[in-house]
Amino acid sequence: MNGALPLAGRVALVTGASRGIGRAIASRLAADGADVGIVARSADALAATRADIEAKGRRCFVLPLDVADGAAVTEAVKKFAADAGRLDILVNNAGVTKDGLLMRMSDEDWDTVLDVDLKGVFHFCRAAARPLAKSPAGRIVNVSSIVGMIGNAGQSNYAAAKAGLFGFTRSLAKELAGRKVTANVVCPGFIETDMTAGLPDAMKTQSLGQIPLGRFGAGDDIANVVAFLCSDGAGYVTGSVLPVDGGLAIGGFGG
Ligand code: NAP
């Protein structure tokens, strides 16, 4: 039974897996047969995701750390790859927002978002590159945002970090292609998670009107696409930037 699963025998690492999109991705990769390492800032926050993965019969490794701490990431990934015995899939999903208009944006809010959403991805890719290169089918999936593609007033820090992932990931796609490691970006649209729960109702209504498919997304909508990019069937897909947004990036209903 296990042998029939698409990711049987693979080992994945998912950041920002305590809730929301990252939790949906970790759960889906486990359902597809992978053992999964999960990252967030505290082990307590990861307990429910861990229980879910273990209930599916997979090994789960808990890595409590701040993705902005490069030394902690290097050490934890090294230990994880040794404990798990291999590393095949890296999904960089951890992210934060610190919204504010440019004229009022503090250095701290700029730095926090860049340090987590962009530099955190660099930390994990650098630490994971060697073990991924040893996999027969290494996969990197970086979770960006359609805000990186189309911008958003009040999110210049977030847009800069998320757009930075495009060039970063495409460079990795070229660097690591010789090792058969693919690197792709997924750009969620408006997904119902803690990150969007606090937005004003007026903004949600306006956003909904911009989504041709007429609904907000769920974590599973993103997890489905990430699972495909991690599968053997996506072995010829690298350097791609893929919106998963119900059509939000192409605008409203038009004529
Ligand atoms: P969320 O519900 O707020 O979850 C964010 C996750 O990131 C949590 O697991 C959090 O863990 C982790 N995290 C945050 N800062 C961290 C740090 N410094 N170190 C380690 N882990 C950290 O967010 P989400 O909506 O699921 O978003 C997931 C990703 O999708 C993000 O990159 C986000 O930018 C992107 N995205 C989301 C949407 C959307 O509409 N929701 C749209 C486009 C893109 P702890 O807080 O437990 O440490």
Is the shortest distance between the CB of 157 and ligand 1 below 6 Å? no
Query: Which is nearest to 49 in space by CA: 65, 66, 30, 32?
Result: 30
The ligand 1 atom nearest the CA atom of 92: 32
Q: Where are the domains of the chain?
A: 11-239
Nearest CA to ligand 1 atom 23: 195
Query: Which is nearest to 70 in space by CA: 19, 134, 116?
Result: 116
The per-residue pLDDT of the chain, averaged, comes to 96
For 112-149, what is each residue's pLDDT tens digit? 999 999 999 999 999 999 999 999 999 999 999 999 99
Q: Would you place residue 255 in the very low, low, confident or very high pLDDT band (cuts 50, 70, 90)?
A: very low
In this model, does residue 4 exceed pLDDT 80?
A: yes
For 82-101, what is each residue's pLDDT tens digit? 999 999 999 999 999 999 99
- Testing ligand 1's pocket by substitution, the residue of 13, 15, 19, 220 carrying the most ligand atoms inside 8 A of its CB is 19
CATH class of 11-239: alpha beta
Instruction: Report how far ligand 1's centroid is from the alpha carbon of 193 (Å).
Output: 9
State the catalytic residue, choosing from 158, 168, 190, 216.
Answer: 158
List Cα–Cα distances, 228 to 28, 32, 117, 186, 204, in angstroms: 11, 10, 23, 11, 29
Q: Check if 236 is active-site.
A: no
Is the shortest distance between the CB of 204 and ligand 1 below 6 Å? no
Instruction: Report how far ligand 1's centroid is from the alpha carbon of 21 (Å).
Output: 7
The ligand 1 atom nearest the CA atom of 23: 9
For 204-251, what is each residue's pLDDT tens digit? 999 999 999 999 999 999 999 999 999 999 999 999 999 999 999 997
Is the shortest distance between the CB of 143 and ligand 1 below 6 Å? yes
Amino acid found at 22: G
pLDDT value of position 1: 46
pLDDT value of position 101: 98
List Cα–Cα distances, 6 to 27, 29, 55, in angstroms: 14, 9, 18
Is the shortest distance between the CB of 197 and ligand 1 below 6 Å? no
pLDDT value of position 251: 79
In this model, does residue 252 exceed pLDDT 90?
A: no
pTM above 0.95, yes or no: yes
